[in-house]
Amino acid sequence: MAKEKNNQNTENQLFAKIIAHAKEYGFVFPSSEIYDGLQGVYDYGQNGVELKNNLKQLWWKAMTQCHENIVGIDAAIFMHPTTWKASGHVDSFSDPMIDNKDSKKRYRADNLIEERIEQYKQNQQLDKAYALEAKLNQCLNNNDLDGLKQIIIEENIVCAISGTANWTDVRQFNLMFSTEAGAVAEEASTIYLRPETAQGIFVNFLNVQKTSRQRIPFGIAQIGKAFRNEIVARQFIFRMREFEQMEMQFFVRPTTELEWYEKWKTLRLKFHQAIGLKPEKLRYKVHEKLAHYANAAVDIEYEFPFGFKEIEGIHSRTNFDLSRHQEFAKKKMEYYDEETKERYIPYVVETSVGADRLFLAILCNAYTEDTGIDAEGKEKNRVYLDLHPLLAPIQVAVFPLLRKEGLPEKARQVFELLRYDFRTIYEERGTIGKNYTRQDLIGTPFCLCIDHQTLQDDTLTIRYRNTTEQIRVPIAELKATLYKEINLAQFLQQLNQ
């Protein structure tokens, strides 16, 4: 038990270090921090926005460029309010919440029970864990809020702050943010900030199908903001109230959906590995409790410092969404299949990943404390971000060894040579060692140093971030050398193999 606690402490410390690192090096800031921040909302800084844009670009290209039958859209955040009636969000997009009367702290009732299940599992009390899991699922499936409270009482679950079991009843809490559209109060109608991007794809299904002349099977991809009034927004950018999703809905012929589901399951895991997430930190978690519209669902989980958690969901959603829109909008959502000469509402396989959550996984995965003894017997004490070169905010940093003797001029020439091919910066302030350290901290994979030898023979050194190894290359071969390491085409090609 003591060992477990220690592990947890070091994991918490590691996560705290990553959050501090993200702030200190311009990746993520708390929103409106001068007013002490806003819970569950974050801003991306100068390095964060680059990393996030690169990530979104890789996802976008992995969808649209790697697949001839996937096209993108960019739908609005506001949608006709009936959309959310049809999708089921108005009636059932809610989480069960419970308050502790002493600390006034609010929890998700299901999460409190899940934590207890996890504890049983860690203590190898598997019978207890499975029995409790079954009970929890039964309550959730039957919307049995009293049952949830009963479990919390029976299990003697206490509030982490007050230490008491003085709980309110469990209530459902709808996660959608609403606002009013229209200038005149009486005529204004309630509209919602979309809680997922998927519905923007469903309502445009026929527009896209007809104008793109795609035939089933085909997909529609979208990246955009989504908003959820999460009961407990925590763990940094893991659970936010305003976040971004990267979703793709793949429309298929009924009865073929499970085949496609398996295919997308494999492809999406491959993507996460290709962007550098360590394979041993990725796993599938098949859903035992399926949403009413799904006939198969799996999460891809990443092992964060606080445990394995979902980063992406892959869901076989049947024809639920399109059928509901057909019913509520009274517009046909059918597709005529030339091959089978049948008319049907397509089935859908969805892949849905949070850009921010994946960003956090990437950051945790990249954060490396390089300690131990180096080749020269000196103690190493270095932190670097092991980012994939296509994701790194800066790919190449160019430094003159000294700020004199013609070195800055030569270094600037090298910078000009590279800046339109790679995300490159030039820096002449500070010592070379400090400059390397700074680039390590933001994950720049390649640093170039221009020294006196460069002036004589037109060679320079490339220093590699992870190994700190330095090699000398002719400037004439520089672009080719870098392109071997920073190659979008190669990245995309391997996804399709």
Q: How far apart are CA 306 and CA 12, in angstroms?
A: 7
Q: Going by DSSP bridges, is the β-strand pair 242-252/282-286 parallel, antiparallel, or unpaired?
A: unpaired
When the beta carbons of 312 and 440 are compared against ligand ATP, the nearer one is 312
Q: Going by DSSP bridges, is the β-strand pair 470-474/42-44 parallel, antiparallel, or unpaired?
A: unpaired
When the beta carbons of 205 and 304 are compared against ligand ATP, the nearer one is 304
Q: How far apart are CA 209 and CA 256, in angstroms?
A: 19
Residue ranges of alpha helices (H) inside 105-256 are 109-122, 126-141, 145-154, 198-202, 205-212
Least distance CB 128 / ligand ATP (angstroms): 23
Q: What is the largest CA-CA distance in the chain?
A: 81
When the beta carbons of 87 and 319 are compared against ligand ATP, the nearer one is 87
Reduced to 3 states (helix: H, G, I; strand: E, B; else coil), residue 217 is: coil
Phi, psi of 414 (to 5 degrees): -65, -40
Least distance CB 230 / ligand ATP (angstroms): 5
Least distance CB 353 / ligand ATP (angstroms): 5
Least distance CB 40 / ligand ATP (angstroms): 7
Torsion over CA: 429, 430, 432, 436 (sign)? negative
* 248 and 63 Cβ atoms separated by less than 8 Å: yes
Per CB under 6 A, residues contacting ligand ATP are 196, 228, 230, 239-240, 243, 245, 310-313, 352-354, 356-357
When the beta carbons of 155 and 196 are compared against ligand ATP, the nearer one is 196
Nearest residue to ligand ATP by CB is 354
Q: How far apart are CA 94 and CA 80, in angstroms?
A: 20
Least distance CB 272 / ligand ATP (angstroms): 12
Least distance CB 299 / ligand ATP (angstroms): 7
Q: Hey, what are 190's tokens?
A: 């309630």
- DSSP 8-state secondary structure symbol assigned to residue 345: P
Least distance CB 339 / ligand ATP (angstroms): 32
When the beta carbons of 215 and 285 are compared against ligand ATP, the nearer one is 285
Residue ranges of alpha helices (H) inside 142-204 are 145-154, 198-202
CA angle 176, 179, 185 (to 5 degrees): 150
When the beta carbons of 53 and 229 are compared against ligand ATP, the nearer one is 229
Least distance CB 97 / ligand ATP (angstroms): 13
When the beta carbons of 135 and 315 are compared against ligand ATP, the nearer one is 315
Least distance CB 428 / ligand ATP (angstroms): 40
Reduced to 3 states (helix: H, G, I; strand: E, B; else coil), residue 216 is: coil
When the beta carbons of 118 and 180 are compared against ligand ATP, the nearer one is 118
When the beta carbons of 228 and 388 are compared against ligand ATP, the nearer one is 228
* 276 and 362 Cβ atoms separated by less than 8 Å: yes
Region of 103 please: left (phi>0), alpha (psi -120 to 50) or beta: alpha
Q: CA 69: distance to chain centroid? A: 24
